Structure 1
Amino acid sequence: MLDRWGVSEMMSHTGHQMDGMVSASGLKDLDEASGAEFDRLFLQYMIAHHEGAIAMAQDPLVNGDDAELNALLKAIVTAQTAEIDQMNKMLQQLQ
């Protein structure tokens, strides 16, 4: 699809972390956690990850005139929002 938009290659994200990506220390915390603490951390990180995906899908630089892309982005926002709601409910039950 990138060639349809006149883009030859993906942007490099080297040197900085994308929104919602778990840091190395976060992965270490997950690795060391167990039980309810693992569940809580996992849900918190997944919520942040989904929020990052929603932000990317809503980015005005991404939302162009391509109907197929816009339909996909809307589906991503809808699905990930529903998943965030479900994960927040699960997180509340753990606390």
Structure 2
Amino acid sequence: MIRKRSLLRRTAAVVTAGAAALVLAACGGDGDDTGAAGHGGHHASASESASTPASPSASQGRHNAADVAFAQGMIPHHRQAVEMADLAPDRARSAEVKKLAADIKKAQAPEIRTLSGWLTSWGEEVPAEGAPNHSGHGAHGMAGMMTDEEMGELEGLSGEAFDTAFMEMMIKHHEGAVEMAETEQADGAHAPARKLAARIIASQSAEIEQMNEFLGKG
């Protein structure tokens, strides 16, 4: 009887140990699978996180002299367009001209910040605020810029005369920006700058067409 109980105890212990081993194996297997999945997921996520910062970083590294010239020329160019647009609320007669001026300012002011950020990240000079219109970085960088005399003339106008002069000057100004953007697309290496150039070409070409229609030249 004692031997029988001892045998039963031994059998129970073996069964219990076997069950425990199975549970541990199952847990170990789950842990391995999770670990593998986790490591796989981790590797994928590490790869993604590595590629995410590397992408802009690499992109920022791929710039050339054309990109620098584009940014250094477009900043004062945009600043002057914003300056011209600021004259419209108090001087323009046409609601269309006022809206056009507001749209120009809304689009170009953030682009100035973007261009300035690129130059800073490249260790290049950001054109100073209030720099003379003719002191740009390369002749092509100043394409379409108004002279001080033209800006003074525009400031002295109001009503319909302002509307006409504003649009005629802004058409010339936009044509210069499109020319600069086309040069960037042809010669630039910085992908975001080339993308911005494409946006400038599209938006300002559309505004040129709109202004020509307002002037009856469309």
TM-score when normalising by structure 1: 0.74
The corresponding residue for 1:14 is 135
Aligned equivalent of 2:147: 23
Q: Identity rate of aligned residues, in percent?
A: 36
Q: Alpha-carbon deviation of 1:68?
A: 2.6
Distance 1:82 1:65 in 2: 26
Aligned AA for 1:82?
A: A
Partner of 1:78: 202
In structure 1, C-alpha distance between the alignment counterparts of 2:192 and 2:144, rounded to whole Å:
25
For 1:9, the aligned partner's letter is: E
Instruction: Give the count of matched residue pairs.
Output: 92
Equivalent AA in structure 1 for residue 148 of structure 2 = A
State the 1:8 CA deviation: 3.8
Name structure 1 gaps, 5 residues minimum: none
Tell me, which stretches of 5 or more residues in structure 2 are unaligned? 1-56, 65-121, 128-133
Question: Does the C-alpha gap of structure 1 residues 44 and 80 become closer, same or farther in structure 2, counting only changes over 3 Å?
Answer: same
Q: Secondary structure at the match of 2:142?
A: coil
Structure 2 residue 182 is matched with structure 1 residue 67: no
Contact kept? 1:21, 1:49, Cα under 8 Å: yes
Q: Which structure carries more relative contact order (alpha carbon 8 Å, separation 6+)? A: 1
Distance, in Å, in 1 between the alignment partners of 2:160 and 2:148 is 21
Assess, with a 3 A threshold, how the Cα gap between structure 1 residues 56 and 10 changes in structure 2: closer, same or farther.
farther
Query: Which whole-Å CA distance do the structure 2 matches of 1:60 and 1:32 have between them?
Result: 35
* Deviation (angstroms), 1:62: 6.4
TM-score normalized by the length of structure 2: 0.36
- 2:202 and 2:142 map into 1 onto residues whose CA distance is 21
Query: What's the C-alpha RMSD, in Å, of the aligned pairs?
Result: 3.0
Question: Cα offset for 1:45?
Answer: 0.9
Q: Provide the C-alpha distance between the structure 2 equivalents of 1:51 and 1:68, rounded to a whole number of angstroms.
A: 21
Q: Tell me: CA distance 1:88–1:34, structure 2 relative to 1, closer, same or farther (3 Å).
A: same
Q: In 1, are the aligned partners of 2:184 and 2:194 still within 8 Å (CA)?
A: no
Give how far 1:80 is off: 0.6
